[in-house]
């Protein structure tokens, strides 16, 4: 596994020089003309730079940023060494990007710029990059193409087909994945573009879905595109036992997955026009929460635990049997918990033939939830929870999973090492 040069992967375009990003400071003494329509921004936090290295990958327990782009790639390489070289190049690039450094800003006019430049002068804005391996790294069409099949952990199953899935191939699967997150949309775009360039010739982008969150005040729960607070009940990261049990892979995954986590990603289109025609009480029954306060039905406060056993005067459950929060609750799923880290998405509009009254055939919002969750074992996490939800959740009449996949995100790295090194050099 040694002796392969990363030049072959990087090509001429991308060296990873440590030059500080050019910021045009040489022009700081100049004044622009009055009132050009330039962007005004809120003042930035003092150091929006997050560490890249550590025992776990960044972007998993990082407090959620305002923007994301999730991308999946198909591997083109014939040899494991080329994939390993790509992982080293990606690791080095991610370390640079998260610290606000450009890729090879040589400034040589006779050379291709190593960095595309649109993030020059921008702080990192809490940029994180989280990488994962799809099933195709271990076997494709039944072939162990890189000699890695024996290192595939038992927990890394193929995601089953769930009731209601309408997955389309061009938005599904992939051999490698990266989730870029950050507070500046252009910095996120720039980072993904750089990652795509670094992959040139070794892996080819298969699908991309971007997403966003509202800029809620700190410590308030953001609302999703259905208008409900989303994230009130999530894995409690302040509980080390819960994190160990539910989030990080231990010894069972082999050295390369220790400290890693499995990501399930699912772009889920929501029929927002349909949802918007539902009465408030019906929306609340569907979710199992009050829309305004976020409190579980029957509770008074947002963070009060939902009482799934509460019944009304007629003995009927206060929170419906098929309400979303009941079916998602650890109590309904043998204690299963996942760390949700989803974003809204907005792909503009596309043609829809409505399957509901008033049965229109027209352009509708192509928007919804880019569902992302992390867990120690998908069999005991998403698959256990979602199998029941897919069949019974009242919300299903409004939502359609259209793509996604399951990716094994290896443990974090120390400086000088690369993501997945324990797999490729096992």
Site for a copy of itself in 67-96 (CB under 8 A): 67, 69
Contact status: 99 vs a copy of itself (CB under 8 A):
no
Q: Map residue 251 onto helix, strand or coil.
A: helix
Contact status: 412 vs a copy of itself (CB under 8 A):
no
Site string for a copy of itself, 1-20 (x = CB under 8 A): ------------x-------
Q: For residue 190, what are its two tokens?
A: 């720039």
Q: For residue 71, what are its two tokens?
A: 């991308």
Length of the chain: 426
* Residue choice 132, 135, 294, 412 for contact with a copy of itself (CB under 8 A): 294
Spell out a b/e string for 397-414, using b for 16 or more CB atoms within 10 Å of the CB, else e: ebbbbbbbbbbbbbbbbe
For the chain, the farthest-separated pair of C-alpha atoms sits apart, in whole angstroms, at 80
Contact status: 112 vs a copy of itself (CB under 8 A):
yes
* Residue choice 2, 3, 5, 26 for contact with a copy of itself (CB under 8 A): 26
How far apart CA 374 and CA 372 sit, in angstroms, is 7
- 1 vs 143, 388, 411, CA distance in Å? 20, 44, 20
* Residue choice 49, 99, 221, 400 for contact with a copy of itself (CB under 8 A): 221
Contact status: 246 vs a copy of itself (CB under 8 A):
no
User: Toward a copy of itself, which CB reaches closer, 232 or 400?
Assistant: 232
Q: For residue 138, what are its two tokens?
A: 């271990």
User: Toward a copy of itself, which CB reaches closer, 55 or 160?
Assistant: 55
Beta bridge partners of 351: 363
* Minimum distance from residue 91 beta carbon to a copy of itself (Å): 21
Q: For residue 116, what are its two tokens?
A: 């595309």
User: Toward a copy of itself, which CB reaches closer, 53 or 274?
Assistant: 274
Of 26-34, 77-85, 136-144, 412-420: span binding a copy of itself (CB under 8 A): 26-34
Contact status: 245 vs a copy of itself (CB under 8 A):
no
Confirm if 318 and 297 have CB atoms less than 8 A apart: yes
For residue 91, give the nearest of 422, 424, 417 by alpha carbon.
417
Of 82-90, 157-165, 281-289, 389-397: span binding a copy of itself (CB under 8 A): 281-289
Contact status: 244 vs a copy of itself (CB under 8 A):
no
Confirm if 197 and 259 have CB atoms less than 8 A apart: no
**What's the N-to-C CA distance of the chain in angstroms?**
10
State how far Cα 388 lies from the chain centre: 23
How far apart CA 333 and CA 330 sit, in angstroms, is 5
Q: How many residues bind a copy of itself (CB under 8 A)?
A: 119
Q: For residue 50, what are its two tokens?
A: 């997050």
* Residue choice 187, 338, 369, 395 for contact with a copy of itself (CB under 8 A): 187
323 HSE (CA, 13 A, CB side): 23
Under rule CB under 8 A, which residues in 351-410 are in contact with a copy of itself?
Answer: 362-365, 367
Site string for a copy of itself, 314-353 (x = CB under 8 A): -------------------------xxx--x-xxxx----
Of 150-158, 179-187, 384-392, 415-423: span binding a copy of itself (CB under 8 A): 179-187
Under rule CB under 8 A, which residues in 118-147 are in contact with a copy of itself?
Answer: 118-122, 125-126
Contact status: 278 vs a copy of itself (CB under 8 A):
yes
Confirm if 281 and 394 have CB atoms less than 8 A apart: no
Of 2-10, 42-50, 395-403, 404-412: span binding a copy of itself (CB under 8 A): 42-50
φ, ψ dihedrals at 251, nearest 5°: -65, -25
* Minimum distance from residue 418 beta carbon to a copy of itself (Å): 24
Of 87-95, 202-210, 382-390, 408-416: span binding a copy of itself (CB under 8 A): 202-210
* Residue choice 55, 78, 108, 149 for contact with a copy of itself (CB under 8 A): 108
């Amino acid at each position: 596994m040694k002796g392969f040069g990363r030049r072959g992967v990087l090509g001429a375009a991308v060296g990873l020089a440590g030059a500080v990003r050019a910021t045009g400071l040489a022009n700081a003494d100049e004044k622009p003309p009055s009132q050009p329509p330039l962007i005004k921004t809120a003042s930035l936090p003092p150091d929006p730079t997050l560490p890249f290295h550590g025992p776990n990958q960044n972007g998993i327990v990082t407090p959620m940023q305002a923007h994301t782009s999730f991308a999946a790639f198909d591997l083109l390489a014939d040899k494991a060494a080329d994939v390993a070289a790509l992982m080293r190049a990606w690791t080095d690039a991610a370390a640079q990007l998260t610290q606000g450094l450009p890729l090879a800003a040589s400034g040589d006019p006779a050379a291709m710029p190593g960095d595309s430049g649109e993030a020059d002068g921008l702080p990192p804005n809490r940029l994180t990059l989280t990488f994962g391996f799809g099933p195709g790294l271990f076997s494709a069409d039944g072939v162990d193409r890189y000699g890695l099949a024996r290192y595939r952990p038992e927990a890394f199953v193929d995601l089953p087909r769930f009731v209601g899935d309408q997955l389309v191939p061009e938005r599904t699967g992939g051999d490698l994945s990266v989730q870029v997150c950050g507070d500046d949309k252009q910095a996120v775009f720039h980072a993904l573009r750089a990652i795509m360039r670094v992959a040139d010739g070794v892996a080819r982008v298969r699908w991309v879905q971007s997403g966003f969150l509202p800029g809620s005040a700190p410590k308030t729960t953001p609302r999703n595109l259905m208008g409900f607070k989303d994230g009130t009940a999530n894995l409690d990261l302040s509980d080390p036992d819960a994190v160990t049990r539910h989030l990080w892979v231990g010894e069972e995954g082999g050295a390369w997955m220790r400290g890693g986590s499995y990501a399930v990603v699912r772009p889920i289109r929501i029929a927002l026009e349909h949802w918007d025609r539902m009465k408030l009480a019906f929306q609340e029954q569907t979710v199992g929460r009050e829309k305004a306060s976020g409190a579980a039905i029957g509770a008074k406060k947002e963070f009060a635990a939902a009482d799934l056993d509460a019944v009304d005067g007629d003995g009927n459950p206060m929170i419906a049997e098929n309400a979303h929060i009941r079916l998602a609750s650890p109590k309904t799923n043998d204690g299963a918990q996942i760390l949700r880290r989803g974003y809204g998405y907005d792909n503009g509009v596309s043609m829809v033939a409505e399957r509901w009254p008033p049965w229109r055939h027209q352009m509708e919002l192509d928007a919804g939830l880019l569902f992302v969750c992390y867990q120690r074992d998908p069999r005991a996490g998403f698959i256990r929870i979602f199998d029941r939800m897919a069949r019974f959740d009242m919300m299903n009449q409004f939502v359609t999973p259209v793509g996604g996949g399951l990716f094994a995100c290896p443990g974090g790295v120390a400086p000088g090492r690369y993501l997945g090194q324990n797999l490729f050099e096992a």
